[in-house]
Structure 1
Amino acid sequence: MTRVLAVSSVFPPHRHPQAEITAALARFLPAGANTALLHRVHASARVEYRHLAFPLERYGPSNDFGATNALFVQAAFELGTRALELALVEAGLTARELDLVMSTTVTGLATPSLEARLVTRVGLRPDVKRLPLFGLGCAAGAAGLGHTHDYLSGHPDHAALLLSTELCSLTLQSTDTSMANLVAGALFGDGAGALIAVGRDHPLHGNAPGPAVVASRSRLYPGTEHLLGWDIGHWGFRMVLGRELPDLVRLYVAEEIESFLAEHDLKPGDVDAWICHPGGPKVLDVLEEALALPESALAASRRSLASVGNLSSASVLHILSGLREAGPPPPGSVGLMLAFGPGFASELVLLRW
């Protein structure tokens, strides 16, 4: 089985309390906008702090997608480099020992892709296999681990890197007063994560304290593609966020989780560690209720949301790294990584320590 060797989580240096970000965004709203609604949305997000790619005073009304995307490439390159280098140190590997680099983002565009730009900077081999992912949104962290497992199952002596770099602050449409944009402005933060895993025949497989990947499942729910994603134009990325998402989680995702676990003779109550993408407090509340989970089950996701906000695809890596820092669960413990993204889609990864 695939074994996780290391997980890193890094952030830009600009960290602000939610109240400071709320006040700044209120100043950007057009005349006559409902600032009271913005404050209510931000207060209900259960986010206490967020990191931003640039100083707060540099944000403001802008429709120049090219200039904003150039800032994304610059900042994502630096943040991704830090995340990768930290993971390599923890794993005890050099960059040249990586055989696959999978990178994911949904908050900016780069061609050559980010992992290609990192080859010379960090010392990756010129023949390293590269797989950039775009469009999976918040689900990409879990999907990336599932795809990494698929690759390592076919290349059991290889080492692979999953790199997630998300600068959500650069996608915000500061003068957009739609509810979708107000919610996005209340939830999302900036950060990056890197995960290194090896196949079952790799020399480091047996000595790793991290979890093994048992199985993964991807599921697309047809007819829901209009409920989550980006509206992309000259203005950049504009959030598409349907009110129905918590209901979809209740109707479909809870059943999907139960079905996936049942394939492995497990029930939700058998899961010791929930690595759940914190899409927002309502999504976590609905999932907890639908699966009849104890309040402690999704505590790690709520802590992540409060301390850094929703990091899109990097959130599950942040939560997993937090579990590792607190001390790995006892041997035999079961973990479930889950995330949701555009499609509407869910990604599940079963882990065992």
Structure 2
Amino acid sequence: MSCVVAVEPVLPGHVYAQEAITEVVGPLVAPDPGRAALLRRLHGSAGVDHRHLVLPLEEYAGLRSLGATNAVFVREGAALAERACRRALTAAGLEPGDVDHVFATSVTGVAAPSLDVLLSERLGLRGDVRRTPSFGLGCAGGAGGLARVHDHLLGHPRDVALLVSVELCSLTLQHDDDSMANLVASGLFGDGAAAVVVVGSGHPLARAARARTVADPSAARPRPARLVDTRSHLYPGTTEALGWEVRDSGFAIVLSAGLPDLLRAHLPADVKGLLVEHGLTPAEVPTWVVHAGGPKVIDAVRDALGLPEAAVRESRASLACAGNLSSSSVLDVLARTLARSEAPPGSPAVLMAFGPGVACELVLLRLEGR
């Protein structure tokens, strides 16, 4: 089994209270007083206290085209992703030249050469590094990226893989669009990136992680975690429920209010199908790493699986501190979980995220000792 040895989320330096964002963004999105009042209510109930933005808040009034926003994505996204990768490699005790495979995911901007190529030059990766760029997995990209990295490492057990997610959701703000989807999105999504170092089962770092048989809650380092198994599910008839409408003004969100109901209907069977093959039930899983998609998404996961509120504590904390970070969100929750978990070594954890499709990505892990 492959092993997660470092998870490093990073956030841009421009941080604002939710109320401050509402005051500036509200007139850009909903100049009509009635819709502006609705926007304020939606922002206030989003479960978000602060968000980090890639640009100063006052600069968003001037961003009105796909070309302008995408240029910012390429410039600032590559820089933010580089920070995350350098921190993750340092935390793992590795150098850029040790990386054999890069999986890069985003849904908030496009680049050609792709983000992984830009990172290769900035980090100094080897010329023969394998690369997998991904666009379109959306909020499921962090979980799906872990799954695809695991697939690669099953066939290359001595390799080092680097998963990097960068999402600049603020760049998708649609001016003068007071649709319910845009009102919700303008109060929910934040900017961030995350990098994860994963090694194959034959790598020395994986063997060292397996040797840690005692968890020490006082230890400063986060816990490694073994990737045990994965599942992907597409829900039929839902392609219009979540995604983008690409406009001259940029990426306009498609967001169905029925997503929580979809999760309640499908998630119990999906999770049980993954766990049963490993002799487990949801009640035997002490750790849950749930995409911080919003209060209703978190509630739906909790209720569908019969989890206690404590099981989604880190998801709510991530949402409050940074908003929904799209594909980076579940990786931020994973970092928080590995830093704080006191579950016994060898205990299972389930990581999950949801994206356009509608798609559900599930990853079964086992926590190692610190």
2:116 alignment partner, SS class: helix
CA deviation map 1:170-226 (0-9, x unaligned): 011132100001111111000000000111111221113400000000011111000
Once residues 57 and 145 of structure 1 are traced to their aligned partners in structure 2, the CA distance between those partners, rounded to angstroms, is: 36
Q: Please say if residues 31 and 176 of structure 2, whose CA atoms lie closer than 8 Å, have aligned partners that are also in contact.
A: no
* Counterpart pick for 1:347 among 338, 344, 361: 361
Aligned residue in 2 for 1:317: 331
Q: Aligned equivalents of 2:150 and 2:85: distance in 1?
A: 18
TM-score (norm 2): 0.93
Uncovered stretches (5+) of structure 2, i.e. residues with no partner = 210-222
Q: Which moved more, 1:284-293 or 1:66-75?
A: 284-293
Q: Following TM superposition, by how much is the alpha carbon of 1:30 offset from its aligned partner in structure 2, in angstroms?
A: 5.0
Structure 1 residue runs without a partner (length 5+): none
Return the offset for 1:120. 2.0
Q: CA RMSD in A?
A: 1.2
In structure 1, what residue type is equivalent to 2:93?
G
Identity %: 50
1:6 touches 1:196 (CA, 8 Å); kept in 2?
Answer: yes
Q: How does 1:255-270 map to 2 (within 5 A)?
A: 255-270=269-284
Task: Assess if the C-alpha contact under 8 Å between 1:210 and 1:328 holds in 2.
Answer: no
Alignment counterpart, residue 291 of structure 1, candidates 280, 297, 305: 305
Question: Hey, what does 1:245 align to over in structure 2?
Answer: 259
SS of the residue aligned with 1:297?
helix
The structure 1 segments of at least 4 consecutive aligned residues displaced by more than 3 Å after TM superposition are: none
Structure 2 match to 1:38: 39
- Tell me how far 1:32 sits from its aligned partner: 2.5
Residues 57-80 of structure 1: CA distance to partner in whole angstroms, max 9, x if unpaired?
A: 101264321111001101101100
Structure 2 CA distance for aligned equivalents of residues 121 and 62 of structure 1? 27
Q: More deviation in 33-42 or 139-148?
A: 33-42
**Whole-angstrom distance in 2 between the partners of 1:14 and 1:85:** 21
Q: For residues 194-273 of structure 1, what are the structure 2 equivalents within 5 Å? A: 194-208=195-209, 209-273=223-287
Partner of 1:122 in structure 2? Answer: 123
| Counterpart residue type for residue 26 of structure 1 | G
Whether the 8 Å CA contact 1:61–1:173 is kept in 2: the answer is: no
Pairwise CA distance, 1:29: 3.6
Alignment of 1:15 onto 2:22: no
User: Deviation at 1:283?
Assistant: 1.2
Which moves more between the two structures, 305-314 or 288-297? Answer: 288-297
Q: 1:133 matched to which residue of 2?
A: 134
1:255, distance to aligned residue in structure 2 (A): 2.0
SS at match of 1:60: helix
* Equivalent pair of 1:163/1:193 in contact (CA under 8 Å): yes
Query: 1: CA distance between counterparts of 2:246 and 2:19?
Result: 29
> Deviation of residue 327 (structure 1)?
5.3
SS of equivalent residue, structure 1 residue 35: helix
For 1:127, give the aligned amino acid. D
CA distance, structure 2, for counterparts of residue 61 and residue 253 of structure 1: 41
Aligned to 2:169: 168
Task: Report if the CA contact (8 A) 1:229-1:239 is conserved.
Answer: yes
Distance 2:316 2:341 in 1: 19
Q: State the alpha-carbon separation in 2 of the partners of residues 203 and 189 from structure 1.
A: 36
Which residue does the alignment assign to 1:274?
A: 288
